[in-house]
A and B are shown apart, each in its own frame.
Chain A
Amino acid sequence: KQEVTQIPAALSVPEGENLVLNCSFTDSAIYNLQWFRQDPGKGLTSLLLIQSSQREQTSGRLNASLDKSSGRSTLYIAASQPGDSATYLCAVPQGGSEKLVFGKGTKLTVNP
């Protein structure tokens, strides 16, 4: 059974700092991995989608990497801003199925 773990559970940084969020998964037979952002009381917004054949994806100040063999992904946020404050979740498919397994998320606070 696929399990996803995110470390740390919470992170507080000053504005302008570069930071890394970690995601690990137990079954490396995945098609892709997604990073989502969730604002309080809101739904999830897809940030980055990495295919299993890719090593990383970039969108603006966000860079996500994927190492299938070690079962790890990282989300790098450059020059953090208060508007980046949110909960970040990673998710992978359950084997080859259509079922997505989520981590519990990392709650990020960027202080002005």
Chain B
Amino acid sequence: NAGVTQTPKFRILKIGQSMTLQCTQDMNHNYMYWYRQDPGMGLKLIYYSVGAGITDKGEVPNGYNVSRSTTEDFPLRLELAAPSQTSVYFCASSARGQGSAGYGYTFGSGTRLTVV
């Protein structure tokens, strides 16, 4: 059981380049999330999805886009990379939203992105 798988683990982008961070889960979870973590800071929610075809913005969505065509996959797209997007990105999933019955989160191991 792989859980939540993120690729790539590391990436260096030049300013203005685009890339997609991949996230796949094999637990049939409805809810999926993208967070970013900056040094010394807590995680901040970028986007989330409550099911295939449904996405919504989190706290820091600017500069990012997402799609959810299947239950398993929730890719995060950076269209025009900026230095401010240098961060560690985590994908997570849960069987139900954390605001409801309280099913726990499963996190991926993260993607470390540097924009130069």
Contacts and interface: CB of A to CB of B under 8 A. Distances in A.
B42 A89 contact: yes
30 contacts: A4-B42, A31-B100, A31-B102, A32-B98, A32-B102, A34-B98, A34-B104, A43-B4, A43-B109, A45-B107, A46-B106, A49-B102, A89-B43, A91-B42, A95-B99, A97-B99, A98-B50, A98-B97, A99-B45, A99-B48, A99-B58, A99-B59, A100-B33, A100-B43, A100-B98, A102-B43, A102-B44, A103-B42, A104-B40, A104-B42
A36 B105 CA distance: 9
Interface of A: 4, 31-32, 34, 36, 41-46, 49, 51, 89, 91, 93, 95-105
Nearest to A46: B104
B109 to A, nearest CB: 5
Contact of A102 (B31, B42, B48, B50): B42
Which of the listed residues B43, B97, B104 has the most CB atoms from chain A within 10 Å of its own CB? B43
B5 to A, nearest CB: 11
B97 A51 contact: no
Contacts of B33: 100
A36 to B, nearest CB: 8
Interface string B83-116: 0000000101000011110101111111000000
B2 interface: no
A24 to B, nearest CB: 13
Contacts of A51: 102
A43 B92 CA distance: 9
A104 B107 contact: no
A104 B44 CA distance: 10
A43 B99 contact: no
Contacts of A96: 99
